[in-house]
C-alpha cells in the first residue's frame, strides 16, 4: 500500500467582519454604511462564512495529508473564527480600534507576507479583495490570495464559489494563475448605475470552484419579458430581483423598477421598491414567486447582489429563473449561495429557465 507523503502549508486568514452586512437590508454594500446597516437591523454575515470555510479547510487538510500552520489577524478579523473552527492560530496582530478598517486588512496582509505564508485566505467582498491585492502589490509579493465570498457585490474572479469550496481549494491547490480584481462605485451602485473597473491582477489558486468575473452586458430579452408579462396571475405576489433582464420585465409590467434592487409587484401595483429583507417579507401574500436572472459569466441566481432574497423570503416563495439563450450559453450551470446549506441543497438539481416568450430550457443548478 502506497502512502502519500505529508505536505506542509502555511495559510494566513483575515476576515472583514462587516462585509455583506448591507445586503439583506437593501444597502447594496457597506462602504461608509456600517452604522446605517446596523440601524436597519443588519447582522454580521462574514464571520459565519469564515467559520464554514475554515472547517472545510481543516477537513480537506486531513483528507489530503496536509500539515497546516494557520496564521490569523486578531479577534473578529480571523482569530475568533479560526478557534471556532477548531484551530489554534498564531495571531499576527490586532485591530487598532473597536471598528475594523481597511488599514487593519492591509496590516494583516503585510504580517502574513513577512512570515512567508503560502496563501492568504480572506473573507469579504470586492472592496476587501482590492485591499488585499493592493497590500500584496505594495509589498512586492506574489503570494497567492483566495476569497471567501461574503460581500454584497462580488464581481472579481479571485473568489471561490462558496465558503466550503474556498477551504478545500486552500488545502489542496497545486497551481496558480493570474486573475482579475474588480470593484464598483457603491454610491453609484445604490443609485442604479454600475461603474466597474479593473483594480488589480492577483495570483490565485487554480481550481474549478472559482467564479468568473461578472459580465456587465447581455442580449435582448424583449420577447422573454413579453412572455413573462402574459403569464402573470391575479393575486400572485412577484418578487423581482435586480439586473437588466428583470429591468426589461418590470418595464413590460408597466413600471420602472430599481435596476440594482428588489421590487415587489402584485396585480398591477408596486408594493415595494428597492426593498430590504423585512420590506419583502411584509409584502408577501398567500402565493409568491421570486423571479431572478443569473449573473452573466458566473451563473449565480441567488447570493450575489440580491441578499435581500434571504432564506426566510425564499422559503415562502416559488422560484422562477429567466435568462436569454445567449446568457445561458456563456454560463453552463446555475449556482446558488444563500448562506443556508439546507436550502441550497433543496434548490440544487435542475431548473426550468424561461428563455423566450414561450421557450424554456432545463439547466443544472449547483
- Asked, colleague to colleague, whether 7-205 and 222-365 share their fold, the answer is yes
**Third-level CATH fold of 222-365:** Rossmann fold (3.40.50)
Radius of gyration from C-alpha coordinates of the chain = 21
- Residues paired with residue 201 on neighbouring β-strands, in sequence order: 180
Over the stretch 177-218, which tens digit does the pLDDT of each residue have? 988 888 765 555 545 555 557 788 899 999 988 876 654 443
Distance, in Å, from the CA atom of 110 to the CA atom of 144, rounded to the nearest integer, reads 13
- Long-range CB contacts (< 8 A, 24+ apart) of 110-115? 110/135, 110/139, 111/12, 111/71, 111/73, 112/12, 112/14, 112/71, 112/143, 113/139, 113/141, 113/143, 115/10, 115/12, 115/71
Cell of 200: 488589480
pLDDT at 36 over 60: no
User: In whole angstroms, what is the distance from residue 166 CA to residue 161 CA?
Assistant: 8
For 257-289, the pLDDT digits (tens) are: 988 899 999 999 999 999 999 999 999 999 999
Q: Please write the tens of the pLDDT for every residue from 114-141.
A: 999 999 999 998 889 999 999 999 999 9
Residues in contact with 274: Cβ distance below 8 Å, sequence separation at least 6, in sequence order: 26, 258, 261, 262, 263
Question: Any residues with CB less than 8 A from the CB of 62 and at least 6 apart, and which?
Answer: none
pLDDT in tens, 88-102: 999 999 998 778 899
Q: For 343-364, write each residue's pLDDT tens digit.
A: 999 999 988 899 887 788 888 9
pLDDT band at 151 (very low <50, low <70, confident <90, very high): confident
Number of helices and strands in the chain (H, E): 13, 16
Residue 75 per-residue DSSP state: G
Report the C-alpha gap between 139 and 64 in whole angstroms. 31
**pLDDT computed for residue 40 by the predictor:** 53
The highest-level CATH class for domain 7-205 is alpha beta
Res 215: pLDDT: 47
Residue 31, helix vs strand vs coil:
coil
Q: What is the pLDDT of residues 156-179, one digit of tens each?
A: 889 998 999 999 999 999 999 988
- Which is higher by pLDDT, 21 or 89? 89
Range with top average pLDDT, 21-30, 38-47, 192-201, 323-332: 323-332
Residue 361 is predicted with a pLDDT of: 85
Strands (E), the chain: 7-15, 66-72, 90-91, 119-124, 145-149, 176-184, 196-205, 236-240, 263-266, 269-272, 287-292, 300-302, 318-321, 335-336, 349-354, 360-365
Band the pLDDT of 332: cuts 50, 70, 90.
confident
Domain residue spans in the chain?
A: 7-205, 222-365
DSSP codes of every residue in 300-344: EEESSS-TTS-HHHHTTSEEEEB--HHHHHTTSSBEE--S-HHHH
- Which DSSP symbol is given to 85? T
What does pTM read for this prediction?
0.65
Q: Contact at 8 Å (CB) between 336 and 302? A: yes
Q: What is the band of 1 on the pLDDT scale with cuts at 50, 70, 90? A: very low
Return the bridge partners of 160, or none.
210
Average pLDDT, the chain: 86
CB 113 within 8 A of CB 94: no
Please report how the helices 222-231 and 244-252 are oriented relative to each other, as an axis angle in degrees rounded to 10. 50
Instruction: State residue 34's pLDDT score.
Output: 46
Percent of the chain at pLDDT exceeding 90? 60
Task: Select from 277, 222, 275 the least CA-distant residue to 244.
Answer: 222
Distances (CA, A) of 61 to 8, 76, 322, 355: 10, 23, 39, 42
pLDDT at res. 185: 58
Work out whether strand 263-266 and strand 236-240 pair parallel, antiparallel, or are unpaired: antiparallel
What is the C-alpha separation between 124 and 18, in angstroms, rounded?
A: 8
Has residue 25 got a pLDDT over 70?
Answer: no
Q: Is the Cβ–Cβ distance between 122 and 179 less than 8 Å?
A: no
Amino acid at each position: 500500500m502506497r502512502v502519500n507523503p505529508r505536505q506542509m502549508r502555511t495559510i494566513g486568514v483575515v476576515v472583514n467582519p462587516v462585509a455583506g452586512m448591507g445586503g439583506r437590508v437593501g444597502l447594496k454594500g457597506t462602504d461608509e454604511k456600517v452604522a446605517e446597516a446596523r440601524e436597519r437591523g443588519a447582522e454580521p454575515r462574514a464571520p459565519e462564512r469564515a467559520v464554514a470555510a475554515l472547517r472545510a479547510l481543516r477537513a480537506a487538510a486531513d483528507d489530503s495529508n496536509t500539515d497546516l500552520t494557520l496564521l490569523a489577524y486578531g479577534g473578529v478579523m480571523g482569530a475568533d473564527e479560526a478557534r471556532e473552527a477548531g484551530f489554534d492560530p498564531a495571531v499576527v496582530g490586532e485591530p487598532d480600534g473597536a471598528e475594523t478598517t481597511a488599514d487593519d486588512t492591509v496590516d494583516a496582509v503585510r504580517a502574513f507576507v513577512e512570515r512567508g505564508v503560502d496563501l492568504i485566505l480572506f473573507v469579504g467582498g470586492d472592496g476587501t479583495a482590492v485591499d488585499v491585492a493592493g497590500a500584496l502589490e505594495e509589498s512586492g509579493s506574489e503570494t497567492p490570495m483566495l476569497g471567501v465570498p461574503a460581500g454584497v457585490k462580488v464581481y472579481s474572479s479571485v473568489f471561490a464559489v462558496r465558503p466550503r469550496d474556498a477551504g478545500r481549494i486552500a488545502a489542496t491547490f497545486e497551481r496558480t494563475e493570474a486573475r482579475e480584481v474588480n470593484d464598483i462605485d457603491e454610491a453609484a451602485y445604490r443609485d442604479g448605475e454600475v461603474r466597474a473597473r479593473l483594480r488589480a491582477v492577483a495570483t490565485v489558486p487554480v481550481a474549478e470552484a472559482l467564479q468568473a468575473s461578472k459580465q456587465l452586458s447581455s442580449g435582448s430579452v424583449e420577447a422573454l419579458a413579453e412572455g413573462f408579462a402574459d403569464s402573470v396571475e391575479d393575486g400572485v405576489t412577484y418578487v423581482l430581483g435586480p439586473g437588466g433582464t428583470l429591468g426589461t420585465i418590470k418595464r413590460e409590467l408597466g413600471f420602472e423598477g430599481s435596476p440594482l434592487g428588489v421590487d415587489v409587484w402584485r396585480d398591477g401595483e408596486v408594493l415595494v421598491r428597492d426593498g430590504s429583507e423585512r420590506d419583502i417579507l411584509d409584502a408577501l401574500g398567500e402565493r409568491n414567486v421570486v423571479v431572478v436572472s443569473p449573473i452573466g459569466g458566473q451563473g449565480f441566481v441567488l447570493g450575489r447582489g440580491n441578499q435581500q432574497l434571504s432564506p426566510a423570503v425564499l422559503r415562502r416563495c416559488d422560484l422562477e429563473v429567466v435568462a436569454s439563450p445567449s446568457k445561458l450559453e456563456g454560463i453552463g450551470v446555475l449556482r446558488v449561495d444563500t448562506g443556508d446549506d439546507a436550502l441550497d441543497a433543496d434548490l440544487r438539481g435542475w431548473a426550468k429557465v424561461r428563455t423566450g416568450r414561450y421557450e424554456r430550457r432545463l439547466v443544472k443548478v449547483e
